[in-house]
Amino acid sequence: MKRFYLQARVLYDFEGQPGTSELSITTGEILNVTSKDVGEGWWEGSNQRGLSGIFPAAYVEAIVQTYNVPPAMPPPPLPQIYVEENTAPVIQQQQSQYDDDWDDDWDDDVSEVNPASHANAAPGGRSNSDVGSALDVNLAGLKLGDGKGTVRKNLNRFSHFVKTGGEAYILGASKVTATDSDYIHIIETNDGITWAPNPQPYSCVVASPKKESKLKGLKSFIAYQLTPSLNNIQVSRRYKHFDWLHERLVEKFCIIPIPPLPDKQISGRYEEQFIERRRLQLQSFVSRVSNHPILSRSDVWLHFLTCTDAKRWKSGKRKAEKDEVIGAAIFSVVQVPEKALDPLQLDSQTEAFGRFVQSFDTAVRTMQSNFAEQVKRQQGPYKRDYQRIGQSFRTLSTAMELLETAPLTRALAHTADTYDQIALLCEDQPRLDFEPMGDLLHDYRGLLASFPDIITVHKGALQKRRELERSATEGKTESNVVIRAQQRTDVVSYTLLAEMSYFHQERVRDYNAAAKIFLQEQIAYYQKIVDHLQSTLSQYKDV
């Protein structure tokens, strides 16, 4: 009797980030896979040296190993590799892990370090074209034009294109039932291909976080109050509700990078400073979704933002979890200009954007690491250094005071107090400059992490189109099948171009505003230090 276990061969080098659970891997080495449920896009395992951690699933290929065991127990079922598909893409809708109870008993935060945050970390060390190559579709066989519409395909676990239903959409096998609110419109303007703007733009404020309890005080949680300008009716949401919403948005919109949530945490969840920091991060998430021309109009988001009734919340929640328009099926509801796209120009634009994403992601990672280190230094060694300088002046003043109390003695004591005040300024300053910039970097690291998958879906669509075109030239595929596949591929391309355009607009606006605020706060910080030192200097009289 044989038993199966999973190993993985490393396709690309990956260097884990210091201070995280990421495992550095080298091309060619064999890893033992212990878990594939760490987070979307990440697996957990160990190398031959006994080191363990998480690594990007796209950087490895699976190797199913077998070994003989006595037939004492039934063997596990063989993995299903091929399926017959007639109409719908192979997308398994997971049942919600959440109870329908509006305020059930599971924790808002389940771990000090959120494994899902690793899923938001963009893999580094290789180009997006490599990502696409690692995730290419391996077809086992294809039947077209036989009147049955049956597609026999390889369910490659590593192919994001297949997993999201991209192949089924290009082949016309994706059938969904959509409502008017599901439809997405893309337009061409003087600025290029863009999403149609939201005709009723609005904003939303996250405020008044407060600690609440249930079960006679046995269960505590923080509730945040959201007030959208579209109706000015306040709703109360816990972190678990945001977490549920985020999962639905990620599942539904494979064409749009969903802003990341704040990391989960256990300790210190009820400290005032932590609550305020999380409020600001949730405000960023809410603002990004509210401002996006497509996300801001989605049913699941509007349900989250406006529902105040427990019964309606439950029914809307179940409806969102049974939504058919998810993954690549969403392309079926995208309305694009009739103009066909130029393949050469499209390739140039998308390849340039892929290189930009990789470079930008590296820059964001580096800056985020440097800023986090700066915060630690200012609140640790820098603060202590100023306190030691102050203590030195205080010791000197005390020593002189044994002989006499003179203006010099008082001036030295004033200097000691000044450096104590500077130490406090140093400790508090990151809240005003480094942390807000760090939150922006956190957002963009999460957004950038989604683009390789989005680009992979696009690459898969183009690859499938080319395969059909070659098949048509060989007389194996009917021309009408190819024409429809070309039209569907253009829909996928239009969505990528629209999101690229929106991302660039937001990027310029965000970083321009954030850099200005950062520099203004830095100037104010150093000006306060100068003012303190000048005031101290005036204490010293000419002898």
The DSSP code sequence of 170-225 is: HTT-------GGG-EEEEEETTEEEEPPPSS---EEEEEEEEEEETTTTEEEEEEE
Strand ranges (DSSP E) for 265-403? 334-335
pLDDT reported for residue 60: 86
Query: Is 153's pLDDT higher than 50?
Result: no
Provide the sign of the torsion angle of the four alpha carbons 273, 278, 281, 282, taken in this order: negative
pLDDT reported for residue 423: 97
Strand order in the sheet with 2-10: 52-56, 42-46, 30-39, 2-10, 60-68
pLDDT reported for residue 57: 84
350: left (phi over 0), alpha (psi -120 to 50) or beta: alpha
342 Cβ neighbours under 8 A, 6+ residues apart? none
Q: Rounded mean pLDDT of 384-397?
A: 96
204: left (phi over 0), alpha (psi -120 to 50) or beta: beta
pLDDT reported for residue 402: 81
Cβ atoms of 165 and 327 closer than 8 Å: yes
Provide the sign of the torsion angle of the four alpha carbons 154, 58, 352, 293, taken in this order: positive
Query: How many Cα atoms within 13 Å fall on the side-chain side of residue 209?
Result: 21
214 pLDDT band, cuts 50/70/90, is: confident
pLDDT reported for residue 77: 45
Query: Is 473's pLDDT higher than 50?
Result: yes
- Grouping H, G, I as helix, E, B as strand and the rest as coil, residue 363 is helix
pLDDT reported for residue 65: 65
User: pLDDT digit string (tens) for 84-115?
Assistant: 333 333 333 344 343 444 444 334 554 333 33
Rounded Cα gap, residues 96 and 321, in angstroms: 7
Strands 334-335 and 192-195: unpaired
Q: Rounded mean pLDDT of 355-384?
A: 95
pLDDT reported for residue 363: 96
Query: Is 51's pLDDT higher than 60?
Result: yes
The amino acid occupying position 338 is E
| Residue 75 phi, psi dihedral angles, 5° rounding | -70, 155
Show the tokens assigned to 514: 């954030």
pLDDT reported for residue 162: 67
pLDDT reported for residue 216: 64
Rounded Cα gap, residues 457 and 370, in angstroms: 33
Query: Is 285's pLDDT higher than 60?
Result: yes
Helix or strand (DSSP H, E) at 234: none
487 Cβ neighbours under 8 A, 6+ residues apart? none
The amino acid occupying position 226 is L
pLDDT reported for residue 476: 86
Q: Rounded mean pLDDT of 325-346?
A: 91
Query: Is 128's pLDDT higher than 80?
Result: no
User: pLDDT digit string (tens) for 66-90?
Assistant: 655 555 454 444 443 333 333 333 3
Q: Rounded mean pLDDT of 60-69?
A: 70
CA 111, distance to chain mean position in Å, is: 18
Q: In percent, how much of the chain has pLDDT > 70?
A: 79
Query: Is 343's pLDDT higher than 70?
Result: yes
Q: Rounded mean pLDDT of 160-165?
A: 71
pLDDT reported for residue 12: 77
pTM of the model: 0.71
Domains assigned to the chain: 2-82 (2.30.30.40), 86-109+140-335 (3.30.1520.10), 340-543 (1.20.1270.60)
CA 119, distance to chain mean position in Å, is: 7
Strand order in the sheet with 204-214: 204-214, 219-228, 235-238
The DSSP code sequence of 49-108 is: TS-EEEEEGGGEEEEEEEEE--TTSPPPPPPP-EEEESSS-----PPPSS-S-TT-SS-S
171 pLDDT band, cuts 50/70/90, is: confident
57 Cβ neighbours under 8 A, 6+ residues apart? 36, 41, 42, 43, 158
Rounded Cα gap, residues 519 and 539, in angstroms: 31
pLDDT reported for residue 394: 95
Any idea which of 146-150, 200-204, 307-311, 317-321 has the lowest mean pLDDT? Answer: 146-150
pLDDT reported for residue 70: 52
pLDDT reported for residue 141: 30
Q: In percent, how much of the chain has pLDDT > 90?
A: 56
pLDDT reported for residue 37: 74
Query: Is 307's pLDDT higher than 50?
Result: yes
Q: Which residue has the higher pLDDT, 468 or 125?
A: 468
Query: Is 502's pLDDT higher than 60?
Result: yes
pLDDT reported for residue 160: 63
Strands 30-39 and 42-46: antiparallel
Strands 184-189 and 334-335: parallel
User: pLDDT digit string (tens) for 418-435?
Assistant: 999 999 999 999 999 999
Q: For the purposes of burial, counting CB atoms within 10 Å of the CB of 516, is it exposed (0-12), middle (13-18) or buried (19 or more)?
A: exposed
Cβ atoms of 60 and 8 closer than 8 Å: yes
Q: For the purposes of burial, counting CB atoms within 10 Å of the CB of 267, is it exposed (0-12), middle (13-18) or buried (19 or more)?
A: exposed
Across the chain, mean pLDDT equals: 81
Cβ atoms of 10 and 26 closer than 8 Å: yes
180 Cβ neighbours under 8 A, 6+ residues apart? none
Q: Which residue has the higher pLDDT, 237 or 217?
A: 237
Biggest CA pair distance of the chain:
107
Q: Rounded mean pLDDT of 150-176?
A: 63
pLDDT reported for residue 5: 64
Strand partners, 42: 39, 56
473 Cβ neighbours under 8 A, 6+ residues apart? none
